Structure 1
């Protein structure tokens, strides 16, 4: 490859010296230094996080232009550049590795430089002419990495929840509720300790999962309320240095309008800058959901196990061949994928908790890690739930005969006999049934412990598997 000519580059200067920047790049010298310093993972900032940062820059340009802090034509050009990015242009210009300079200064300057250089072009000027539009003096007026990045994590988290997560979880709950209705009359054997237990309704198994996810949705929504309190305007250390007196209230209002979600200024800007507690709280709520999703996905796999040598109480939709060597094999791949993603979310939660402890004095410098892990957790969990719902939950069918066979044959039915023949007699009946293969009904009648009519009433599977009155609320609501 031939050496590029000088015309392929432009020269930019910062406080450390000069570097040659590719002529077509919208990023600048500080971004290039970060590229050279952090060739770590190849992971670039998530699009949602970029959107959050650009939305903040748009809000600050509108506010600073309105307050007369930067020239109106420059403010308008920055806003136009921001809109282009939000519409999908110049996305390849956000290039700093996820693992980078503490607090996120490198990514922050990447955003500032791209907006400044595109604004210059929109004004008919050339890239790099920062005397006219400066990444620091105009795009970043009245701001600091230290108040911008915590706000971007909040906004990015809110956007990810609204666009990727809440709709998916709500759809999963609806799908499980539908199955609860569809399977409401099917009785199956319950199992505790992986051993036979008293019968349950297959529909209520799905109804219980729907309630579990509903409870998690409420927990996550409550945790996310803390994300709506922003410290934008705190500047470098939370004191608001170099900001207009009206900036912090006005910018919160403008940003709220842009994202169409309620935001409010923090009561104490130093606190909003230093504490990562809101992110830990949301991440912890996601981890809590992930733990139950793992359990549900494992239950789905067990209930579908077989087809000949497992439980096979339900049939999960086959979505792809399951083996490279065994023809006709189909695996519960959607449930397996769900567990893997949940493991990753739980790992991210541990990293976020550790990073949240990593601040000193006026700043937490581990915010880039928190930003990536939190927003990525929300998005991959939302995408996982959406895929699981569409390609698994909605298509589940019941194996009613298999469920009934297990329910009728379960030794745990003897539990219903306790009040009528006593615990010791019931235990002896269960033991003899297991040893001889005779049914519980047969042995009770042979020993004259109960009449056939009494036994039919006591071992009524529909009655035995009915939920107690207070637990029927969801079932009544759905039916």
Structure 2
């Protein structure tokens, strides 16, 4: 029997030919064709973060009885594989694209959905058994899954790496401040020699600036722990079971290992990325001080 080279998937725009061996589907392929902007793909941590969101949603939907366990467990297993670093080559959507993350969310839904179909013993694209939209994206919208993934999991993971590096730098500067405390050098202002200063004093100043920046970033982290998961499209939680809304963030916290909590003012959270903007401003200020 000759194995098919392509499969055919259909959406509102019509039928599309998809390579038979890939795990993404028609929505992802259209997005790749529509937004050939940077040539880059999603960051590895963002891919993992989306998988964490999908796993948490599946677990919560199973717990409240909305998702059949056979389907839900397959989604959880497929999500775990993505979290472990598998299937990342099928996340092909350009990170710069229209829709505030819709195409990235659908890329995650399709990859996890098609892998879950295989786990259940079906072929990729047989969405009558398990649908990327109906099942993988159940009780979600891009407007809550995307912000939760991008700045409440992916960014937080990167912040931890940044903070560890900054702490090492601060410790080194503090050590050098003591080591060079006896070294006198000429201080300079306006590119000219001015008055003497100890080299150790300069390193002490560097250390204090880093200490302040570490404190500011840790303050930003506290705001990023608040997620709008369960808010769905416009912040009202429409189409999500109230019991799901209460437990999905707990599932997220358990899977990610982060102390996440649900933001109560979800409508405002859906419309604005204030938490992320605050962090970015602090990064820019830090960059200006250290360059």
Q: TM-score range by the shorter chain?
A: over 0.9
The match for 1:70 is: 67
**TM alignment of 1:366-385, pairs within 5 A:** none
How far off its partner does 1:134 sit?
0.6
In the superposition, the TM-score normalised over structure 1's length comes to 0.59
The match for 2:88 is: 91
How far off its partner does 1:58 sit?
0.8
Q: Of the candidates 207, 226, 229, which is equivalent to residue 229 of structure 1? A: 226
Unaligned runs of 5+ in 1: 295-479
SS in 1 for 2:193: strand
Q: Of the candidates 219, 230, 236, which is equivalent to residue 216 of structure 2? A: 219
**TM alignment of 1:15-414, pairs within 5 A:** 15-154=12-151, 155-162=153-160, 164-294=161-291
Instruction: Calculate the aligned-residue CA RMSD, in Å.
Output: 1.3
SS in 1 for 2:101: helix
Structure 1 segments of 4+ aligned residues over 6 angstroms from their partners? none
- C-alpha separation between the residues in 2 aligned to 1:118 and 1:187? 65
- C-alpha separation between the residues in 1 aligned to 2:239 and 2:264? 19
- C-alpha separation between the residues in 1 aligned to 2:245 and 2:172? 43
Q: Deviations over 1:40-65 (max 9, x none)?
A: 21011111111111111111111111
- C-alpha separation between the residues in 2 aligned to 1:224 and 1:281? 10
How far off its partner does 1:6 sit?
8.4
Q: Deviations over 1:287-316 (max 9, x none)?
A: 01101110xxxxxxxxxxxxxxxxxxxxxx
CA contact (8 A) 2:48 2:85 kept: no
- C-alpha separation between the residues in 2 aligned to 1:52 and 1:86? 8
SS in 2 for 1:19: strand
Q: What is the aligned residue count?
A: 289
SS in 2 for 1:246: helix
SS in 1 for 2:138: coil
In the superposition, the TM-score normalised over structure 2's length comes to 0.96
SS in 2 for 1:102: coil
Unaligned runs of 5+ in 2: none
